[in-house]
Amino acid sequence: MRRFDEPTSRFYISELVLVLEYLHETQDGIAYRDLKPENLLLDKDGHIKLVDFGFAKRLGRDGDKPGETYTLCGTPEYLAPEVIQNKGHTTAVDWWALGILLYEFLTGYPPFWHQNPMEIYKQIVNKPIVFPSEPALSPESKDLISQFCIVDRSKRLGNISGGAGRVKEHAFFREVNWDDVANRRSKGPIVPPIKAADDAQCFDRYPEDDGNHSSFTDEMAEKYDHYFADF
């Protein structure tokens, strides 16, 4: 599709807002730290599934404030400035990445890009986000992206007082019924063409997969199948 229209983008971003709210506002205060298109899968009804928690970290909470960590990790185009500057970062990095993701959904490319990762880091720290004239983005989408991608994390939407609740109140989500989103009351804009529960046509086959892997036993099914009940 190259890029998404605004209703499609809004559907996925809305679901991700609820994912981040859940991760951030639990007592564990989990920072995901690797939000990008490659880590978003679709289930059989077209809903977002966030995968690959290899960079996720429990930061805990100090009252209303999340804990901090200093590990440099993530994907260059999506890193928040405070990660690059090694100032210590919190769950606020995920809201920055959500802004970058929305920009990429709507335009087809991220706002900061270069073949050399060091140049990407310089752009993130020093350059403001510039919106293209084509495709034309709505004022609401541009404002949401700008509020997510504020270098000063104390002013970043999602990280300011009110947390994810303030994000939900933004004009970009004016027509969103958050209870409907949470309860998956409508199918996603892209529904995978699944023919059966074991249909793997949407996944790449790799040369090293010669089919000689071990069998999926009844014991394994009993142990693991419930994790994939809604895929």
**pLDDT tens, residue by residue, 46-102:** 999 999 999 999 998 766 667 889 988 889 999 999 999 998 999 999 999 999 999
* Domains of the chain and CATH, by start: 6-182 (1.10.510.10)
**Stated pTM of the model:** 0.86
Which residues are catalytically annotated? 34
Provide mean pLDDT across the span 3-11: 97
Q: For residue 201, what pLDDT is reported?
A: 85
Interatomic CA distance for residues 213 and 196, integer angstroms = 21
Q: What pLDDT, in 10s, does the model give residues 184-229?
A: 999 999 999 988 888 888 888 777 666 677 788 899 989 998 888 8
What percentage of residues in the chain have a pLDDT greater than 70? 96
Kind of pairing, strands 48-50 and 40-42?
antiparallel
Interatomic CA distance for residues 167 and 157, integer angstroms = 6
Query: Is the omega angle on the peptide bond into residue 135 within 30 degrees of 0, that is, cis?
Result: yes
For residue 42, is pLDDT > 90? Answer: yes
